Amino acid sequence: MKILAIDTSSKVCSVALLENDEVIDELNLEDEKTHSENLMPLLDKILKKNNIALKNIKLIACSVGPGSFTGIRIGIASIKPIAEVLCVPVASVTSLETLAKNIEISEKETIVSLIDARNNQVYCGIFSSTYQAKEAYLADDIHTVLEKVKAYHNIIFVGNGAILHQTLLKQVIPNAKFSENNKQSAVNVGKLGYQKYQENNLYTADTIAPIYLRKSQAERQKDKNKK
């Protein structure tokens, strides 16, 4: 089964093609401000490069956030009409899951994905070694998040939030490990999408939706002005 995967939730516009969970190809562009201009040409390029017609795609896997509000909207808006025309299911994959997938660990370890949300805020996902979320995602101040995280043992951190707050994380959890691979990628979106396909955990073009976890800066400012 050929899978088309995309991730526009970070600075990198990433697309990938997979045959089940085997990678065929991946293309990336690190230019957050032009995801709207880059995504469709990138999709066209990877299909033509690998001589694969769009009609041969049987599953679309899409990162739904959290992360860049604009990037997430662009990604979901772009795949909706494709999924509808092809009549194929959509796998909804979070950016916190894709980061966790960067790491192969033992059963005793806990993966903590951290994405910088600016102003000392982070998005956080706590995962088992099989990439299952241990509890609901968090979106809060890094100190508040750490109060929750430090209850776990054998932690390995991943994500740009882990890089940004590494000094603090080491102070609070001295024995924690840190991933060397902190990039989000469409490859992991595709692999997790195939896993969700096997579990029959799928959406349609009409039902896939973004996961923001918190309001955008514009929305927060609007709420503030109302007070």
Q: Over the stretch 156-206, which tens digit does the pLDDT of each residue have?
A: 999 999 999 999 999 999 999 999 999 999 999 999 999 999 999 999 999
Cross-strand pairs, 157: 112, 178
2-95+184-226 and 103-178 share one fold: yes
The pair of structure tokens assigned to 6 is: 């995309």
Domain range list for the chain: 2-95+184-226, 103-178
Taking the model in full, what pTM does it have?
0.92
* Average pLDDT over all residues of the chain: 92
CA–CA distance, 13 with 33 (Å, rounded to integer): 10
Q: Over the stretch 32-64, which tens digit does the pLDDT of each residue have?
A: 568 888 999 999 999 999 999 999 999 999 999
- Edge-to-edge strand list for the sheet holding 57-63: 22-30, 12-19, 2-7, 57-63, 90-93
Any idea what the Cα angle at residue 218 is, between residues 216 and 223, rounded to 5°? 95
Please give the CATH number for the structural domain made up of 2-95+184-226. Answer: 3.30.420.40
pLDDT (0 to 100) of residue 40:
94
- 121-127 and 138-141: which strand pairing? antiparallel
65 backbone φψ class: left, alpha, beta (φ>0; ψ -120 to 50): left
Q: Topology of domain 103-178, per CATH?
A: Nucleotidyltransferase; domain 5 (3.30.420)
Any idea what the Cα angle at residue 205 is, between residues 203 and 208, rounded to 5°? 50
